[in-house]
Amino acid sequence: MLAREQIFENHPAPQKAREIATVITNEVGRKWGVINEIIELSQNEPLSKSSMLLRASLRVCAYLVYFERKNPYHLVNLIRNFILGKTREGLLKRLFFVLRKIEKFKGGSVKSFEDYAFWYQFFPRWAARKMVEEFGQEEALRLMEEMNKLPFMTVRANTKRITPEKLLFTFKEKYRFDGELVDYPFVKLAKVYPVMRTDEYEEGLFSIQDKNTAVGVLELVKLLPESSCVLDACAAPGRKSSLIAQERPDVELFCVDISRSRLDKLVREFERLKFERPLLVAADASLLPFKGGFDAVVADLPCSGSGTWGKHPERKWFTSSERYKECVLVQKKILGELSGFVKPSGYLLYSTCSIWREENEEMVDWFLGRYLGFKLLKMERIPPENASTGFFYAILQKL
């Protein structure tokens, strides 16, 4: 997906061509593992033996031939000049040979729910197995179907400068973007529109943020006393910290992130929104340099990202069943460190964009069992409906 955006940046294309390319690359990403298996079964050898150019050509063309029923001959002719500008004609012959085999491919063998989830819901077998273990087969299938829906888009109005109502009116009248008002301060757009190319985005009148990811912060800011001191421990790229600044400008905000380049993005986001720059610290959240405490600590921690598989379907093919286990260890280490920076009667907001219980409810249980000076105030799991972000948060208070 990043490569697509880089190509568009270097080679401007008409809007219709951009839309077609976006659909194709999104679908190739969503079906990535299935496409790879179709190719390997058809050519009877691993994709790793092919050149990078051939692999890329095979994946896109295999999607178009198998799922869209496009003619291999026409596809090869369509990209002929592009390929010959990069390499010799032998690649075209190989591509056509494999595509003809893919055209005759009858589908994979389905002997289990994991096989069904792979071939028809486009989920890795390990992920399907884990979802069944956690939620049962019926709920696992429902979650897959929700993640496979076309995603909508939510943007957060910068209410210091524009109301959600006026922002929605501008989208509809000026750009013909279809949408509706949803939970304050969000506007829901019917599909993913090019909002970053609008004047209003450049002027800082809104931010792009899934509304599910804001619920915990919006609950937290209601609890904070006046002129609170808040630490956002994994702050970049700044969506949650800028929401705190928007809703509670009286707060003194410290933003920490291990990556200086990501903190630079946070600074640019605050500048674009015309918010006062927070205090910045480049540090590992498990090794913080502070001595004092905070009225609230926001811990939106590194996680498996399994809740984002609807909006970023390619991600599920580039992770593994071991990834979330590694995240659990990191989360425990960071939470242990952060617990010491919460003042008495202060708050700890823990959140992830994961659907796995080990990173969510079980993590809260572990924390409360180990750090007895905290109590749970609120905990909520927000499912990934209509390809939105599956999100979890818990607000704990130090006694």
pLDDT at 13: 58
Q: Where do we find the tokens 């055209």?
A: 103
pLDDT at 321: 87
Instruction: For strands 294-300 and 342-352, give the pairing.
Output: parallel
Q: How far apart are the first and last CA of the chain?
A: 46
pLDDT at 35: 98
Among 176, 181, 186, 189, CA closest to 206: 186
pLDDT at 4: 46
Q: What is the DSSP letter of 276?
A: P
The pLDDT tens digits of the residues spanning 330-345 come to 999 999 999 999 999 9
Q: Any residues with CB less than 8 A from the CB of 169 and at least 6 apart, and which?
A: none
Q: Outline where the chain has alpha helix (H).
A: 2-10, 15-30, 32-43, 52-66, 72-78, 80-84, 90-103, 113-121, 125-135, 137-147, 164-175, 199-202, 215-223, 239-247, 260-273, 323-339, 361-370
Dist CA 23 CA 192 (whole Å)? 11
Question: How long a stretch of residues is the chain?
Answer: 399
Instruction: For strands 294-300 and 229-232, give the pairing.
Output: parallel
The 3-state DSSP class for residue 77 equals: helix
Dist CA 236 CA 274 (whole Å)? 17
State residue 276 phi and psi, 5-degree precision: -65, 135
Tokens of 52: 């990078």
- pLDDT < 70 stretches in the chain: 1-13
Domains and CATH numbers, the chain: 31-103 (no CATH), 113-147 (no CATH), 153-208 (3.30.70.1170), 211-398 (3.40.50.150)
Dist CA 364 CA 381 (whole Å)? 12
Alpha-carbon distances, residue 69 vs 30, 77, 99 (angstroms): 18, 16, 11
The pLDDT tens digits of the residues spanning 116-132 come to 999 999 999 999 999 99
pLDDT at 16: 76
